[in-house]
Structure 1
Amino acid sequence: MTTPNPADVRRLEIDGAPATPAQLRLRALDGYGHFTAMQVRGGRARGMALHLDRLDVATRELFDQSLDGDRVRAAVRHALAGDGTPEGGLLLDAAVRVYVHAPEGVPSLMVTVRAPVELPATMAERAQSLKSVPYVRPVAHIKHLGGFGQAYHRRRVARAGFDEALLTGPDGAVSEGAVTNVAFFDGREVVWPDAPHLRGVTMGLLEPRLADAGLPTRRGPVFLRDLGAYRAAFVTNSWGVSPVCRVDDHDFPLDEELMRTVSEVYEGVPWDEI
């Protein structure tokens, strides 16, 4: 799972208009803010209510102001619509991010539009290898800017041949992936680590639905030393769900039944109008 390249941005708008150089300079020097990331298909996105709630709650915490969901929806729709020309027409499928800054004391929305991301078709092709690193994100419950620590560790684990960094705290307590949530399966229930983490939208969609598919879930401590107690693991983010094939030197065989169930639950989540 790679981090989006800024050079791949197809459109970038600030408060419903093309960004000016002055606005971009201001944001380049302002690392205080937050964002959400979503995949859009057919002009719709999964978990739109969770995205809007995330943005509103974080804006209240960071800037002491609310953020109206209709304003966010309008900004995303406007960025997807383009300028009406054939070259800049409506994009129904895309990867969208909504950033919130407050450079003049009032929340300002920056929307970026990139090409959509598609995971490989088979779970075996999606399988991720994770390398643990001693790092926990500051203010982990907010999807905030300034992810230097995550980027640093992801680059280091990639050089070691791994796909993703697994963030851990004291005593090897697992919290989350650098850009993912992680869950472990002991053969009976799915365990989401309860160490400090960001509750991703995909996690938020799966967690309350898995039990109805015969997969009870709970939150609890997960330690690197106890990985042998689990028979499978998977990661989630805005791109979807992928199995974990390895954490450090511990291999997880692909649990086809587990991943089929988790994938079917996720794929069954309706797409929301933006």
Structure 2
Amino acid sequence: MMQKTAIAVAATAMLSTGAAALAADKGEVELAYVEWSSEVASTNVVKAVLEDMGYDVKITPVSAAAMWQAVGTGDVDGIVAAWLPTTHKHYLAKVADEVEDLGPNLDGTRIGLVVPDYVEIDSIEQLNAAADKFDDKIIGIDPGAGLMSKTEKVIEDYGLDDMKLVEGTGPIMTAVLGDAIEDQEWVVVTGWTPHWMFAKWDLKYLDDPKGVYGGEEQIHTVVRKGLKEDMPEVYKVLDNFSWTPDQMAELMVWNQEKHADPYANAERWVEENADTVESWKK
């Protein structure tokens, strides 16, 4: 029995060594992302797929500006978190000659100002008159995010002199939103679709008659120049990577569970959606 156990341990060690060698042989892939719930989901899914193929994948959360700079300089291999054509337009313009846009990996996104459904206004134009009900605040996310710069322009273009944009993070924004809803208070936040908060609460976008936030957007995959030649298999997966808002939302909801591990949830999603994942590898 002891001899069989020793053989089993040795075999396991050999398999582990082999897997490590395979990963080392295929090389390291580096991806950057912003810590929005949608991008946490998508980046971890790509990491899970590539690691299953034998790559060593490093993912780094950064600000939107740093994310674009990193792919532009080639410090990372790619991003699957480019909100275009509006939100990240100014970032892309700065690095357009150094990157390759592989097109959308998700359709039907949107950004704007979001309020609970019980709030009795429907347009951004009505915010000033109701500023006191919102405590004169628009609850934002991380400074430097494209959504924040768009919201600053909204404040300027709509003359929202009585409203202050409060910087924070995505989790802080949803925490403030949740607390306000629990107390049935008025609150306005910077929001985007897809996001798990729309599945949890009854929310609505405020109309944007001036079109500052733009219409529907897409999330694109963008890679550094030369990736196709350096890592053709990785390039193929990134080029083919595409899923639906419903598929992303499923994973985002899992990630909101207590003690959730985004990477473990991504591995679970990959396992349960094998046909979709296989289509990315062809």
Question: Aligning the two structures, in what range does the TM-score lie when normalised by the shorter sequence?
Answer: under 0.3
Larger radius of gyration: 2
Which structure exhibits the higher relative contact order, with contacts defined as CA atoms closer than 8 Å and separated by 6 or more residues? 2
Q: TM-score under structure 1 normalisation?
A: 0.21
- Normalized per residue, which structure has more strand? 1
